Chain A
Amino acid sequence: MIYFNNVTKKYSDNVCLEDINITISQGEFVSIVGHSGAGKTTLTKLILAEEDPSQGSIFFDSMDITKLSSKELTKLRRKIGTVFQDFRLLPNKTVYENIAFAMEAVDKEEDEIKEDVPRVLELVGLKGKENNFPHQLSGGEKQRLAIARAIITQPDIIIADEPTGNLDPINTNDVVNLLKKINELGTTVILTTHNRTVIDQVKKRVITLENGRVVRDDKDGKYML
C-alpha cells in the first residue's frame, strides 16, 4: 500500500531521513518509534506529501506521490486521515462543524453528514459536546475529536503523529484503544510515538528510527531504544 524506495530527506545539510526502504500493507498497524529528532514526523509529512523527499520515491498503491499535481494531492489526502499531537482542529468551528467540514470537503450530502456526525461523536465519547468550540475541550477530548474527524470519511489509512504526546495515562489508553478498534475494522494505522506503554499496549509491528535510519523492524512490537 505504501512503499518507500531509497528515500532521503535533507534540510540544507541536515540529514533527517537516510535511505529509507519500508513497505506498509493494507490493514497493518505500524508503530514508528524513536527519540525526538529521529525523523518520525518527517516520515509522516512525506506520506502526506507535505514535504518532498530529497532523493528516492514514495508510492501510495501504484501512485508516485512525489509527482502529483495539487488536484491529485487533494484526492490522495482524502484517502488519509490524520491525527496530531497538537490536535490541529479548526478553532473557529464547533465540534460538530469540525467533523462536518471533513465530510463537506469530500462532497458528502447533507443528509449523510447529519446522520454520521452524531454517530462518530458517540463512538469517541463526545456526545453532548456538539456545540462546544475546541478551546472549551480538554486535551483528551480534543484528541478524540481529531480522531473522529480522521475516521469520519472512512479513509484507507490513519496517520497518528504522537497522538498521546499531550495526554495523561487514562486519555492515552482511550486513544490507543480507539486506534486499535479502527484498525480492527480494516483501516491501516501508522502511529508515531516515543511512549513505551503505548507500544506495549498495541503489540503490533514496530519500526525503530535512529538518526534518520531504520535500525529495527519487528513484526511483534517491543519498545527497544
Chain B
Amino acid sequence: MNFIKFKRVVVSGCRNFKRSGFTSVASILIMTITLFVITSLIFIQAALNASLNEIKDKVDVTVYFVPNASEDSILNIKESLEKLPEVKDIEFVSEDQALIDFKEKHANDYLTLQALEELGENPLGASLNIRAKDPSQYESISKYFESENTISRGELMIIDKIDYSQNKMVIDRLTSIINGAKQLGFAVSLILVLISLIITFSTVKLIIYISREEIGVMKLVGAGGGYIRGPFIVSGIIVGIMASIATIIIFIPVSIWLGNQMTEFIGINLFTYYKSNFLQLLIIMLGSGTIIGGISSFFAVHKYLKK
C-alpha cells in the first residue's frame, strides 16, 4: 500500500468514526467495559499479591535454645542457616531481649510477673526467628536440624525446641490457601477477560454487519480488499484508543477511593500503585485497546469480502 492509499484509508477511517455517531459511542462504551475488566484484574492481582505477601511475612519458624546456651554457638547456627537458599532472613532474639519481650507481653498479668520475680534468674532462652522465602520451604528448613551431618552434636544439645511441628498444620493450610487463591485468581481473570473479549468482538461484528451493504457497494465499484477493510480497521483502532483514555480517566477516582477506603483491608494503597505503574498500565490499555479494536474489525470485515 503506497503512501497516498495509506493516507486515504486513515482519513476515511477517521471520517467514518466521526460520522457513525451513536455506533462509535456504543463501541467505545463496550470496549471501555472490556478494558475496565482487564485493568480491574491487574488491580485485583496486585492487591492479592500484597495480601499474600503480608500473610507470608507473618509466618516464621522459631528455634528456641536452652537457657545459658552460648551466644557464639547460636550465632554459628544462624550463620550456617543463612547459607541455605530457602532462608529469607533470620532474627536473633537474645535471652535478655526475650525477657524484656515476655515482660512487655505480660505487663498486665501480675501473677506471672511475680512468679518470674521469685525465680530470681532469667528462665528464658535465646531464639532464632527464621523466615523462608516461601511458606512451603519451612519443612526443609526444619529438617536441617534433624540431619546429623549439618549440625554438630554440641550445637544440637543447646536446641530446646523448634515450633515447626506445632505450626505445621497452620503453615500447610496457609500454603494451600495461598496457592489456591493464586490459581483461582488466574482462572477467574482468564474467564472474565475471555467473556469481555467475546462481547467486544460480537459488538464490532454487529456494527460491521450493519455496514455489509456498504461493503458490497465498495466491492462493486472495484475497491480492493485492503482499501475496503482499511478504514474499518482505522475506526476500530480509534475506538480502542478512545476507550483506553476513558478507562485511564475512570480509574483515577476509582483508585483514589480504593486508596482511601481499602488500604487497611488489602494491604496496599491502590492509588499509589496506580501512580507508580501509570506508564505501564497506560501501555497495556492502549495496546489491548488498539489490538482488540483493530483485529476484531479485520475479522468482522473479512467475512463480507469473500466474493
In whole angstroms, what is the CA distance A102 to B228 when docked?
12
Encode contact with B along A96-127: 1 for CB under 8 Å, 0 otherwise: 00000110111101100000000000000000
Encode contact with B along A142-156: 1 for CB under 8 Å, 0 otherwise: 000000010001000
Shortest beta-carbon distance, A161 to chain B, in Å?
11
Please tell me if the beta carbons of A105 and B222 are within 8 angstroms of each other in the complex. yes
Shortest beta-carbon distance, B15 to chain A, in Å?
8
The answer to whether the Cβ of B224 comes within 8 Å of any Cβ in the partner chain is: yes
Segment from A22-30, A35-43, A85-93, A169-177 that makes contact with B: A85-93
Please tell me if the beta carbons of B8 and A70 are within 8 angstroms of each other in the complex. no
Shortest beta-carbon distance, B294 to chain A, in Å?
20
Please tell me if the beta carbons of A48 and B222 are within 8 angstroms of each other in the complex. no
Encode contact with A along B1-13: 1 for CB under 8 Å, 0 otherwise: 0001100100000
Q: Given that A77-B222, A105-B221, A153-B222 are known contacts, is A91 also in contact with B214, CB under 8 Å in the complex?
A: yes
Shortest beta-carbon distance, B285 to chain A, in Å?
28
The answer to whether the Cβ of A187 comes within 8 Å of any Cβ in the partner chain is: no
Best-surrounded residue of A75, A106, A153 (most CB of chain B within 10 A): A106
In whole angstroms, what is the CA distance A206 to B305 when docked?
34
Please tell me if the beta carbons of A74 and B223 are within 8 angstroms of each other in the complex. yes
B306, closest chain A residue (CB): A70
**Size of B's binding interface in residues, CB under 8 A:** 23
A103, closest chain B residue (CB): B221
Please tell me if the beta carbons of A88 and B220 are within 8 angstroms of each other in the complex. yes
B residues 212-236 with Cβ under 8 Å of A?
A: 213-214, 216-225, 227
Q: Given that A50-B307, A90-B217, A92-B214 are known contacts, is A105 also in contact with B224, CB under 8 Å in the complex?
A: yes
Determine the interface band of chain A, counting residues with CB < 8 A from chain B.
Answer: 20 to 34
- Please give, as numbers and ranges, the residues of chain B lying within 8 Å of A88 by CB-CB distance: 213, 216-217, 220
Please tell me if the beta carbons of A78 and B214 are within 8 angstroms of each other in the complex. no
A150, closest chain B residue (CB): B221
- Please give, as numbers and ranges, the residues of chain A lying within 8 Å of B5 by CB-CB distance: 107
The answer to whether the Cβ of A188 comes within 8 Å of any Cβ in the partner chain is: no
In whole angstroms, what is the CA distance A89 to B214 when docked?
8
Please tell me if the beta carbons of B214 and A48 are within 8 angstroms of each other in the complex. no
Please tell me if the beta carbons of B224 and A74 are within 8 angstroms of each other in the complex. yes
Please tell me if the beta carbons of A82 and B19 are within 8 angstroms of each other in the complex. no
With A77-B219, A104-B223, A109-B4 already in contact, 18 other A-B pairs whose C-beta atoms are closer than 8 Å: A49-B307, A50-B220, A73-B307, A74-B223, A74-B224, A75-B222, A77-B222, A80-B222, A82-B220, A90-B214, A91-B214, A92-B20, A92-B214, A104-B227, A105-B221, A105-B224, A105-B227, A149-B221
User: 16 pairs across A/B with beta carbons < 8 Å?
Assistant: A50-B307, A70-B305, A73-B307, A74-B223, A77-B219, A77-B220, A78-B222, A88-B220, A90-B214, A92-B19, A92-B20, A102-B221, A104-B8, A105-B223, A105-B224, A105-B227
Q: Which residues of A contact B (CB under 8 A)?
A: 48-50, 70-71, 73-75, 77-78, 80, 82, 88-92, 101-102, 104-107, 109-110, 149, 153
